[in-house]
Amino acid sequence: MQEKIIILDFGSQTTQLIGRRVRELGEYCEIVPYNKFPYDDPSVIGVILSGSPFSVYDEKAFRTDLSRLRSHLPVLGICYGAQFIAYTSGGSVEPAPSREYGRAHLSSIDNENPLMQNIPVGSQVWMSHGDTITSIPDGFRTIASTDKVRIAAYQVEGENTWGVHPEVFHSEHGTQLLRNFVVDICGGKLDWTAESFIESTVRSLREQLGDDKVVLGLSGGVDSSVAAVLLNRAIGKNLTCIFVDHGMLRKNEFRNVLNDYECLGLNVIGVDASAKFFSELEGVTEPERKRKIIGKGFIDVFDEEAHKIEDVKWLAQGTIYPDCIESLSITGTTIKSHHNVGGLPEKMNLKLCEPLRLLFKDEVRSVGRQLGMPEHLIKRHPFPGPGLAVRILGDITPEKVRILQDADDIFIQGLRDWDLYDKVWQAGAILLPVQSVGVMGDERTYERAIALRAVTSTDAMTADWAHLPYDFMAKVSNDIINKVRGVNRVCYDISSKPPATIEWE
């Protein structure tokens, strides 16, 4: 049985970052809503309480009874979690005289305390709070302070219960603090690796699926590709993959991806349904209608192809852990569905198999490498399901797709040639619904404008525009204008997320 740390989510936007830091240590963890602790799970070795958008004294603040946890397991409260433990035990939490945002330094540390081992005085921490703990109950002992915050960290005497005020994941020695908790206090073995995941998942897939046949929808992206290779290792010929070309893929992507999958030994059916999608999208300009048309069209094509395979019992998908977390609010109610092919399980009356649903994106890539997949597949940038349809603003025509494919191909290949592709989280070209005046040779032109978008990120929750070299941008712009018929202007999007999104539609 895989030991685990449970992270109770009180609604912080950074809860996933705590989970990723714990996973990066090599310890398996799961994120669950604050009021859904799995008391019947004997594999839990420790509990972390996350931050929250609320103050602990707010009427709407999320509350749960921690007495059972504190008496049986090590508990670490971070930010709101630390304030909640202190407040519900009789301490005081009040609005800070001035809101605590930015860098601070630990002015005193109890290095004898197991949580604070190997963390030096002067260590930089990141404060992001409107509240502060002004007093702690009897039996609580302060183990760290900053020059402005007297109770930056504490332990409950006689208990394996700690609270930490700063944002651990942004602090200079935050990883060391988490290691102290996970290893020294909880006894974690740090045995969560890509290799161990593959071994246990292949074994469980064989038990789950038996001799049943499975169909999987491939997108060409890393998630569905790794899911396919993992399933292929587990059940071999009983897996059939379907790759649908809706006409909005990148230039030559349909052929290139099929070649990649053939080299991986996958059983893949490639379906060119571009004519169907172009017909159904004719004249459509509203982004959500485009998505719905492509989503329904994909389901129809996939369903038709899957019915040609006898006795299929399962639909496999490349759903990953952030999808599962974001699909639930902290009250456990569904906010939005992240199923890659939403609607298919119900339409086809199939059981759902999601072998990657416990992995973050970087872990998916690690598993892919361990499975022997080529780097260009593993490092592939995210690409929207509707493809270039949401990068063409306005109506979609084969000619517009051709223009965008050519421009995008120059941009992406340029990133590879200049050794910039792996430094960028996601990149692509957008065809704008405007024309502008230009001069080519001695002639006046009135042609289309292309916007280039490249962002840096770790998980797509936030993103900054990539600061690409001017020489590179000049070369790409010149190549697009000279080589792509119908384009005479290139712009670069320097918006961050938030407020802008990565995609334009």
Over the stretch 92-112, which tens digit does the pLDDT of each residue have?
998 866 555 556 778 889 989
Report, as an integer, the average pLDDT of 168-182. 82
Which CATH code, of 3.30.360.10, 3.40.640.10, 3.40.50.880, 3.10.450.50, is assigned to 4-185? 3.40.50.880
User: Residue 442 above 70 pLDDT?
Assistant: no
In this structure, what are the phi and psi dihedrals at residue 26, rounded to the nearest 5 degrees?
Answer: 105, 15
User: pLDDT, tens digit, for every residue of 329-370?
Assistant: 554 433 334 445 455 556 667 888 999 988 988 899 999 999
Same fold: 4-185 with 194-378: yes
Nearest Cα residue to 384 out of 304, 477, 453: 453
Angle of helix 274-281 relative to helix 287-306, nearest 10 degrees, comes to: 150
Report the alpha-carbon distance of residue 86 to residue 162 in Å, rounded: 10
Is the separation of the CB atoms in 160 and 75 below 8 Å?
yes
What is residue 439's predicted lDDT score, i.e. its pLDDT?
Answer: 72
CB atoms within 10 A of CB 499: 6
Identify the weakest region by mean pLDDT among 10-24, 33-47, 220-234, 318-332.
318-332
Residue 332 pLDDT: 44
Range from 80-89, 337-346, 349-358, 488-497 carrying the lowest mean pLDDT? 337-346
- For 397-492, CATH number? 3.30.300.10
Residues 266, 228 contacting (CB under 8 angstroms) = yes
Q: In the predicted model, is pLDDT for residue 53 greater than 60?
A: yes
Whether the predicted pLDDT of 412 surpasses 90: yes
**Confidence at residue 339, expressed as pLDDT on a 0 to 100 scale:** 42
Cα–Cα dist 149/106, whole Å = 9
**pLDDT mean across residues, the chain:** 88
Q: Find the Cα–Cα–Cα–Cα dihedral 43, 47, 52, 55, rounded to 10°.
A: 140
**Which fold does the domain 194-378 belong to in CATH?**
Rossmann fold (3.40.50)
Phi, psi of 30 (to 5 degrees): -130, 145
Indicate if 326 belongs to the active site: no
Question: Averaged over 58-71, what is the pLDDT?
Answer: 91
pLDDT of the residue at 326: 54
Q: Is the model's pLDDT at 91 over the cut of 90?
A: yes
Question: Residues with Cβ < 8 Å from 126, sequence gap 6 or more?
Answer: 102, 103, 104, 166, 167, 170, 171
Give pTM, 2 decimals: 0.79
* Confidence class for position 3, pLDDT limits 50, 70, 90: very high
Q: How confident is the model at residue 321 (pLDDT cuts 50, 70, 90)?
A: confident
What token pair was written down for 226? 């790794």
Mean pLDDT of 149-177: 84
Quick check: 461 and 496 in contact, CB under 8 A? no
HSE toward the beta carbon, residue 228, CA cutoff 13 A: 28
Assign residue 272 a region (left: φ > 0; alpha: ψ between -120 and 50; beta: otherwise): beta
How much of the chain exceeds pLDDT 70, in percent?
A: 90
Which alpha helices (DSSP H) does 33-78 contain, by range?
Answer: 67-72
> 145 forms bridges with which residues in the sheet?
108
Residue 296 has pLDDT above 50, yes or no: yes
pLDDT value of residue 341: 46
Exactly one of 3, 167, 305, 363 is catalytic; which is it?
167
* Mean pLDDT of all residues in 477-483: 96
* Whole-number pLDDT of residue 170: 61
Give residue for tokens 């005020």.
Answer: 165
What's the pLDDT at 445?
Answer: 76
Q: Which of 27, 29, 30, 79 is catalytic?
A: 79
Lowest mean pLDDT among 34-43, 134-143, 320-329, 361-370: 320-329
Q: How confident is the model at residue 425 (pLDDT cuts 50, 70, 90)?
A: very high
Domain ranges of the chain: 4-185, 194-378, 397-492
d(CA 211, CA 214): 9
Identify the residue with better confidence: 325 or 284: 284
**What is the per-residue pLDDT for 207?**
95
Per annotation, catalytic residue among 3, 27, 100, 165: 165
The pLDDT, as a whole number, for residue 13 is 75
3-state helix, strand, coil in the chain (%, to 5): 35, 25, 35
Per-residue confidence (pLDDT) for residue 313, from 0 to 100: 92
Tell whether the model's pLDDT for residue 41 goes beyond 60. Answer: yes
Q: Are strands 426-440 and 443-456 parallel, antiparallel or unpaired?
A: antiparallel
| Local confidence band at 399 (pLDDT 50, 70, 90 cut-offs) | very high
Residue 79 known to be catalytic = yes
Tell me the pLDDT band of 131, cut-offs 50, 70 and 90: confident
For residue 106, the model assigns a pLDDT of 81
